[in-house]
Structure 1
Amino acid sequence: MTARPAAAARHWLWRLVLTLTGGLTVVGALPRGGCVVVANHSSHADTAALLAAVRSRHAPRVAAAADYWFAGGWRAAVCRALAAAFPVRRTGGGSADMEAAVDLLRAGRAVIVYPEGTRGTGVPARFHAGAFRLAAAAGVPVVPVGIAGTADLLPKHGRLHRARVTVRIGTPVPPDPEVARAEVARLAGPSRRTGRSSEETRRRVGRVALSGTGLVIVAAWSFAEAIVWPLLPELVLFALVPAAPRAGVRLVPAAVLASMAGGLCTLALGMAGAAPAAPLVTERMRVMVAEQTADEGAQAVRHQPLSGIPFKVYAAEAGRAGVDPLPFLGAAIGHRGVRIASVGAACTLLGVALRRWPERYLQVLGTGCGLFAIGLTLVVAAWM
């Protein structure tokens, strides 16, 4: 595997791992071209965080202690494969090992160095000069990076715990160890900005959810989704209800009723031969629903919650087949409506849990939306 595809594989592997172990926040990005990245070092998880944070176009390599990681056995092979590491001796010969990375930098790649030389605690210890001589020899910038949270995730001589990791990428600094150390210490310093931002966002979204505006948004979204809008009512409930669980009492019934009203409108349009084309609806979906409707009439909609086919397709095909609106409405409430209500109830329970961890709101919202996007892509691809 060549350098950049391998770097992409490592990047997404460690992104996934860190997402599952508490989450990753990345602030900033490396400049284009080769650069020497200098970072604080308090945990073996630091390399995973940096590989997840740095874009694969930089195909980063990591300077690792030869006496620890490359002393023989399986550890060296794992270090090369999962961390793109190369050995640097800590007792004689280290400068020559670093100079061998000049060609990597001139080829536009990033070289990650922990100038402390070992894992530390708290404020970064004195930086050794090797990384800065390397940058000067290759004619590339030195980029300071601060890592926070890895010592909680994987403490020195400790076990893995859930913890959120933050990587802050600074702007290039002069190749001076003390200047770089001060900037890395600043970037790695404790910050509650992300948590406060998440809590404030949750409060603002909660106010919308409890207001008349929130009710209108959910009703309009759900009604439109049953006609042409491609995004499920469950998605807007997932955004609003966890931010204000008691709003679910109003928003979930509104979503169900508006979805049913939109379905009846689409059925009427289907009867008139005027049902609109909808995005992300494929011909295979229409054919399948037409066959189910021909066989089962109004009850065909019972397949909708698990098929991945939009509710609007069932409503339009029911109209084209001349299905009576009242039996269709009853079946739709018993299946489509129940699914919306079930998801709404789950969102309410999630919101109750988030009262204890309000700083997790944005993380939960982002993860849920990401999973929805993946699911939607897979469903549409399956019905192409």
Structure 2
Amino acid sequence: MAAVARRRLWRLVLALTGGLTVTGELPRGGCVVVANHSSHADTAALLAALPGRCAPRVAAAADYWFAGGWRPAVGRALAAAFPVRRSGGGSADMARAVALLRAGHAVVVYPEGTRGRGAPGRFRSGAFRLAEAAGVPVVPVGIAGTADLLPKHGRLRRAHVAVRFGAPLPPDPEAARAEVARLAALPVPPPGAALRRAAARIARSRTGLALVVAWSLAEAVVWPLVPELLLFALVVAAPRAGVRLVPAAVLASMLGGLCTLALGAAGAAPPAPLVTDRMRAAVAEQTAAEGALAVRHQPLSGIPFKVYAAEAGRAGVDPLPFLGAAVTHRGLRIAAVGTACTLLGVALRRRPERYARVVATGCGLFAVGLALVVAAWA
């Protein structure tokens, strides 16, 4: 639980300070993680990248982090650190970590022994003797961007950080140093590209599908933000995911509309944020004149779908004709927006770094449009 809490904490911090990209995976079971070291932010990046299941522990300089004051408590609580002496006794300190490795923990060691600059310096042998004694592999990790985020003897700045896991290696200091240097030297992806990859992973997952269904259904009952907004963020990142996300949004929205119609028929009135009395009056007039077909005005009127569904229920409109009209008009608008998002996502494939700017612009335009609609119907 502590490892998961640290991971979430540092992921949040790095998201707020420029973002984090993680590539590669850690093998299951105990392992010694060796990484380049240029900033105090390296440990935060590693703890954010390592899976909670490995409950990582970090070897920290005893003369710096455990010399007294507030640092020992912070090191143990936020970095899962244990002390390793740099001047005599370090081998014995490292040997105590054998039990951690055999219990399945990942033990993080910075073999340079101190923060450096540029390419990794000579790797000391302690981490590799530890891996050999425990019978576990060495995993090289390259960290990039932390020297810009928190320079040595400098202040915190915004910067994107990349953590790259290499393939497990035998305990060879030179081979590990070469691989760590190679991984650390790879270019840091632009923040927009990293955000796009994260959104694409969500879009392709069951979580993304469940989120679209829940959002679309809720919007047809009480939620004030249309499902097209979520589809925009997800489908632009993963155009192929639109094949399942867009129909799911349409079906869930229709189901939510039928729920709201039933509530209206029963005389219930769920909360409806950003819905004005003038909106309700206009929909009541349209429903009295056109019945189920009144919902055809919804896509261009700016009035939420749930208002039409609730008024149809209060007016005693039959659910099936209402559903047919809603699919034809409301469903068609969702599908059209989803198609446009798919085309935009395909166009952005060659410029993934523009994803964040495009989504921010789209959300900004939506917010302005929503404010204008509410003001017009106030």
Instruction: Identify the residue that residue 313 of structure 2 maps to in structure 1.
Output: 320
User: How far is 1:321 from its partner?
Assistant: 1.4
- Secondary structure of the 2:21 match is strand
1:359 aligns with 2:337: no
- Distance in 1 between residues matched to 2:308 and 2:256, nearest whole Å: 12
- Of residues 299, 307, 320, the one that matches 2:280 is 299
Instruction: Identify the residue that residue 374 of structure 2 maps to in structure 1.
Output: none
Instruction: Identify the residue that residue 26 of structure 1 maps to in structure 2.
Output: 22
The alignment's TM-score, normalised by the length of structure 1, stands at: 0.61
- Distance in 2 between residues matched to 1:100 and 1:46, nearest whole Å: 23
Q: 1:280 to 1:291 in 2, by over 3 A?
A: closer
Instruction: Identify the residue that residue 92 of structure 2 maps to in structure 1.
Output: 96
Greater than 6 Å deviation, 4+ residue runs: 239-242, 279-289
Deviations 1:81-130 (A, max 9, x none): 00000000000000000000000000000000000000001110000000
Q: 1:315 to 1:62 in 2, by over 3 A?
A: same
- Distance in 2 between residues matched to 1:312 and 1:130, nearest whole Å: 65
- Distance in 2 between residues matched to 1:290 and 1:233, nearest whole Å: 27
Q: Is the 8 A contact 1:7 1:60 kept in 2?
A: yes
User: How far is 1:24 from its partner?
Assistant: 0.2
Query: What aligned pairs does 1:221-232 form with structure 2 within 5 A after superposition?
Result: 232=227
- Distance in 2 between residues matched to 1:154 and 1:111, nearest whole Å: 23
- Secondary structure of the 2:59 match is strand
Instruction: Identify the residue that residue 153 of structure 2 maps to in structure 1.
Output: 157
Q: 1:315 to 1:61 in 2, by over 3 A?
A: same
- Distance in 2 between residues matched to 1:358 and 1:19, nearest whole Å: 18
- Distance in 1 between residues matched to 2:126 and 2:36, nearest whole Å: 15
User: How far is 1:299 from its partner?
Assistant: 2.3
- Distance in 1 between residues matched to 2:264 and 2:88, nearest whole Å: 71
- Of residues 63, 67, 78, the one that matches 2:63 is 67
- Of residues 3, 6, 17, the one that matches 1:10 is 6
Q: Is the 8 A contact 1:300 1:314 kept in 2?
A: no
Give aligned-pair identity as a percent: 63
1:39 aligns with 2:50: no
User: What letter matches 1:320 in structure 2?
Assistant: G
Task: Show structure 1 runs of 5+ residues with no match.
Answer: 203-221, 243-261, 263-274, 303-309, 325-356, 370-384
Instruction: Identify the residue that residue 127 of structure 1 maps to in structure 2.
Output: 123
User: What letter matches 2:121 in structure 1?
Assistant: A
Q: Is the 8 A contact 1:297 1:323 kept in 2?
A: no
Q: Is the 8 A contact 1:23 1:363 kept in 2?
A: no
- Distance in 2 between residues matched to 1:137 and 1:7, nearest whole Å: 25
User: How far is 1:317 from its partner?
Assistant: 1.5
Instruction: Identify the residue that residue 207 of structure 1 maps to in structure 2.
Output: none
Query: What aligned pairs does 1:141-220 form with structure 2 within 5 A after superposition?
Result: 141-192=137-188, 194-195=189-190, 198=193
Q: Is the 8 A contact 1:170 1:187 kept in 2?
A: yes
Q: 1:241 to 1:140 in 2, by over 3 A?
A: closer
- Distance in 2 between residues matched to 1:120 and 1:139, nearest whole Å: 29
Q: Is the 8 A contact 1:298 1:318 kept in 2?
A: no
User: How far is 1:237 from its partner?
Assistant: 4.5
User: How far is 1:314 from its partner?
Assistant: 2.6
User: How far is 1:283 from its partner?
Assistant: 11
Q: 1:38 to 1:238 in 2, by over 3 A?
A: closer
User: How far is 1:315 from its partner?
Assistant: 1.9
Q: 1:172 to 1:237 in 2, by over 3 A?
A: closer
1:277 aligns with 2:255: yes
Q: 1:77 to 1:163 in 2, by over 3 A?
A: same
- Secondary structure of the 1:62 match is strand
User: What letter matches 1:167 in structure 2?
Assistant: V
1:137 aligns with 2:133: yes
Name the Cα RMSD after superposition.
Answer: 4.5
- Distance in 2 between residues matched to 1:107 and 1:301, nearest whole Å: 67
Deviations 1:263-292 (A, max 9, x none): xxxxxxxxxxxx953399699987998337
- Distance in 2 between residues matched to 1:98 and 1:280, nearest whole Å: 64
- Distance in 1 between residues matched to 2:236 and 2:137, nearest whole Å: 47
User: How far is 1:300 from its partner?
Assistant: 7.5
Instruction: Identify the residue that residue 48 of structure 1 maps to in structure 2.
Output: 44
- Secondary structure of the 2:190 match is helix
1:80 aligns with 2:49: no
Instruction: Identify the residue that residue 250 of structure 1 maps to in structure 2.
Output: none
Q: How many residues align?
A: 276
User: What letter matches 1:359 in structure 2?
Assistant: E
Q: 1:279 to 1:103 in 2, by over 3 A?
A: farther
Task: Show structure 2 runs of 5+ residues with no match.
Answer: 198-215, 238-249, 284-302, 318-350, 364-378
Q: 1:280 to 1:290 in 2, by over 3 A?
A: closer
User: How far is 1:20 from its partner?
Assistant: 0.2
- Distance in 1 between residues matched to 2:258 and 2:110, nearest whole Å: 48
Deviations 1:141-171 (A, max 9, x none): 0000000000000000000000000000001
1:57 aligns with 2:35: no
Instruction: Identify the residue that residue 305 of structure 1 maps to in structure 2.
Output: none
Q: Is the 8 A contact 2:232 2:359 kept in 1?
A: no
